[in-house]
Amino acid sequence: MINEDASSIPVKLLQGMLEGMSDGIVLTDSQEQVTFINQSAVRILGCREQIDGQGTDILS
């Protein structure tokens, strides 16, 4: 079990882990704007990769 809080994990490491997952990952902010989408989510959802900053309605 890791005792570090999430804020201590380097962003590049976390981003690399999310990109390497076969599950589709889409992260949003409190205004439901896409802040991150991994390659698996792009493939699964059939959307273009450059949707950062757009609302989640683009995913439907």
pLDDT tens, residue by residue, 6-24: 666 788 888 888 889 999 9
Q: How many domains does the chain divide into?
A: 1
- Tally of residues, the chain: 60
Closest CA to 56 of 27, 19, 21: 27
Q: Say if 47 falls within a structural domain.
A: yes
pLDDT tens, residue by residue, 18-59: 889 999 988 888 988 888 888 898 888 887 666 666 666 666
Q: Say if 28 falls within a structural domain.
A: yes
Predicted confidence (pLDDT) at residue 1 exceeds the cutoff of 50: no
1-36 in b/e burial notation, b at 16+ Cβ within 10 A? eeeeeeeeeeeeeeeeebeeeeeeebeeeeeeebee
Q: Which domain holds residue 28?
A: 7-59
CATH number at residue 46: 3.30.450.20
